[in-house]
Amino acid sequence: MQLGMVGLGRMGASMTSRLLLGNHAVVVYDQNPVTTAASAAEGATGVASLEALVSLLAAPRAVWVMVPSGAATEETIAALSAVLSPGDTIVDGGNSNYKDTIRRGELLAARGITLVDAGTSGGVWGLTEGYALMIGGEVAAVERLRPIFATLAPAPDRGWGRVGPSGAGHFTKMIHNGIEYGMMQAYAEGFSILKHKTEMGLDLAQIAELWRHGSVVRSWLLDLTALALRENPTMAGIAPHVSDSGEGRWTVAEAIDLDVPAPVITLALLQRLRSRDTDSYADKLLSAMRNQFGGHAITTVPTP
């Protein structure tokens, strides 16, 4: 199937690679011509503008937007809407706020353009492992893009699905990320307690590896934690600064709006805010975990 891909960062470039491996025809554009050229070298068709991208796609067109949420997504979708035609589809695969998605969908619908929101999870491992895709939008539009979703997902019959109407994909991904905050915090705190029991000389990497097999707390996140501990058991050189990209805050705000108690997710968010002021082994490990699954940059401690 033919698809346009706008945005070739960590996720967009890897998704393009996976689509090319699935024999899809991908036309790519990024503001950085170097990343566009890199995808073109793999077999994509690189272009220097959104207009050029749209001109090379056969109607009805499908363009996947993979740029940072907020202003970048707003501007990109607005620019695309000016050059696309009725019957075309835009897929927003970023971490947009679902309320913005609903609003954008309504604006695009007035022009005859369909917006599909695809909450995307998988991080830097998605190229090899596949991406979990939580999709919102019209049934017909989602079905038309089934070959794309089936290729990006871990398997054609699992790891992806339409979860509801416009905005539902991003809403589901928002809650997914809130849960992720809580799980990461629990692992980090538990390993910090183990580390502080110094008289036992516990090997945290060994324990993480042990828990990966048969334990009720085993998970892919634990797999990545074990990898981080093998590579750097003391978290040396990692500053205890844990960033957040917004979804946790939105999840907590939604819980408050719905009168749903979410103390674990809320406290996990607050711990990230606290990490910016004090030193903590747990926060260093959180930073390492984010790097393992999402390729997020680690804030390092300057060498004396």
Residues labelled as active-site residues: 173, 180
- Count of C-beta atoms within a 10 Å radius of residue 135: 25
Q: What are phi and psi of 114, to 5 degrees?
A: -100, 135
Query: CA 112 to CA 86: how far, in whole Å?
Result: 4
Q: Is 179 exposed, middle or buried (0-12, 13-18, 19+ CB in 10 A)?
A: middle
Angle of helix 168-196 relative to helix 204-211, nearest 10 degrees, comes to 130
CB crowding 169-178: b at 16 or more within 10 Å, else e: bbbbbbbebb
- Tokens 């809650």 belong to 175
75 in Cβ contact with 100 (< 8 Å): no
Query: CA 27 to CA 6: how far, in whole Å?
Result: 9
Query: CA 276 to CA 264: how far, in whole Å?
Result: 19
Q: What are phi and psi of 50, to 5 degrees?
A: -65, -35
- CA-wise closest residue to 225 among 282, 153, 298, 175: 282
Q: What is the maximum alpha-carbon separation in the chain?
A: 69
117 in Cβ contact with 169 (< 8 Å): yes
